[in-house]
Amino acid sequence: MEPEYNEEYIRPYNNEEAHNAFVRVCDEPELKTVLEFIYKDKAEEMRQYFLSIKTIYEFQKNVIARFVMSVADKTADSLTINGLEKHKDGKKYLYTSNHRDIIMDAAFLDTLMLMNDMDTAQNAIGDNLCAKQWITDMMKLNKNFIVKRSGSTRDIYSASVKLSSYIRRQITEGKDSIWLAEREGRAKDSNDTVQESVLKMLSMSSGKNMKQGFMELNITPVSISYEFDGCDYLKAKEFQQKRDNADFKKTKADDILSMKTGILGYKGNVHYEVTDSINEELDKMVSDDDNRATVIAAVQKLIDQHIHKNYRIYPINYVALDERNGNSQFASHYTAADKERFDQYISGQLGKIELDNKDEDYLRGKLLEMYSNPLINHLAATNND
């Protein structure tokens, strides 16, 4: 029987619940397999350590953050952040970012917060990722809260009302900041735009004054820039599968493969730019009397502008755009070595795609879109200043 979608189901675990959750998790044979994969001959030692953990902070600091940094050391050339210092003011914020990776987007942000002596945010995850109870337990131990993604229209609407109220309370009552991807699911082509349905969900708890309702959330866009996306070939493959079969649907196994590939895949340089809250700009753009549609459109525009303007653009983004357009317009932004590196990378990723009717030209075009769209949006945002 499906659990009721209420606050008890939505929220992460608290310190008082942590020990019992670890006991449940440590009884799972699958966890042993995961620990052996990560920690090799120290797997049992880590299992015993899990059983001794007393607080969520200890788990995040001593287990999750260390694991995330080990991932960064193995799969990224650099991991940097800018702008967090503006948010050490005791306020709680709704951080909303473009969405590249199922796991690492939020994991990197939380780890960087811990490294900067800040409380971590609660992170939104879809219930499609909670395939098993022990996975749900681990997610909730890491301050994840659950977003309902399936059900009837009435079920989704009811769940959205509850989720909106939950998010608002965390921020307005000074409990926790929140991280929420700007859209449901990743932007597979890296053409990042905030999804209107996400903003509509947030507005459900605003009351009559839409402008003030959004402003009290302290919405703060975060621009995430991965130089390389380990899941790019899986995303390209999915594009062709959907092109060739209108009824194609990903399986839970596909989601698990994407999670694993996103963690272990090469990322190059990774940068997070935490921008200012949109409140000051929003206050100037709309009035207290403006209707819901007008306010949502303004919020949508501001989030997109902040994220697009603050991308870190890499030489390969310029290479991708020139190759997509079949010219050398941006050749001054990269070297012959940059181009060779990118071309070799794309060839390698294409080689990983297994399809009976593999369309190499189409797949390559999709990969070029993924790496050029951030630059296209960045140029448009900066040219409109």
Q: What is the pLDDT of residues 312-328, one digit of tens each?
A: 999 999 999 999 999 99
- What's the confidence (pLDDT) of residue 385? 60
Q: Which of 311, 334, 366 is the last residue of a domain?
A: 311
Is 77 contained in some domain?
Answer: yes
Whether residue 331 sits in one domain with residue 295? no
Whether residue 322 sits in one domain with residue 277? no
Whether residue 108 sits in one domain with residue 222? yes
pTM: 0.94
Within a 13 Å sphere around the CA of 280, how many CA atoms are in the beta-carbon half?
3
Whether residue 323 sits in one domain with residue 302? no
- What's the confidence (pLDDT) of residue 210? 96
- What's the confidence (pLDDT) of residue 52? 95
Do residues 104 and 264 touch, judged by C-beta distance below 8 A? no
Whether residue 297 sits in one domain with residue 340? no
Q: Which helix (H) or strand (E) holds 316?
A: helix 315-325
Domain count, the chain: 2
Q: What is the arithmetic mean of pLDDT over 134-152?
A: 92
The answer for residues whose C-beta is within 8 angstroms of residue 158's C-beta and 6 or more apart is 5
pLDDT in tens, 212-258: 999 999 999 999 999 999 999 999 999 999 999 999 998 888 888 99
Closest CA to 180 of 280, 293, 98, 91: 98
Do residues 50 and 25 touch, judged by C-beta distance below 8 A? yes
Is 107 contained in some domain?
Answer: yes
Calculate the alpha carbon distances from 259 to 25, 90, 170, 254, 263 in Å: 19, 33, 27, 9, 6
Whether residue 328 sits in one domain with residue 297? no
Do residues 317 and 373 touch, judged by C-beta distance below 8 A? no
**Banded model confidence at residue 365, pLDDT cuts 50, 70, 90:** very high
User: Other CB atoms closer than 10 Å to residue 334's CB: what's the count?
Assistant: 20
Whether residue 216 sits in one domain with residue 332? no
**Banded model confidence at residue 1, pLDDT cuts 50, 70, 90:** low
Is 41 contained in some domain?
Answer: yes
| Predicted confidence (pLDDT) at residue 341 exceeds the cutoff of 70 | yes
| Predicted confidence (pLDDT) at residue 384 exceeds the cutoff of 80 | no
The CATH number that applies at residue 56 is: 3.40.1130
Is 235 contained in some domain?
Answer: no
Is 350 contained in some domain?
Answer: yes
Whether residue 151 sits in one domain with residue 11? yes
Whether residue 149 sits in one domain with residue 28? yes
Domain that holds residue 363: 316-383
Is 198 contained in some domain?
Answer: yes
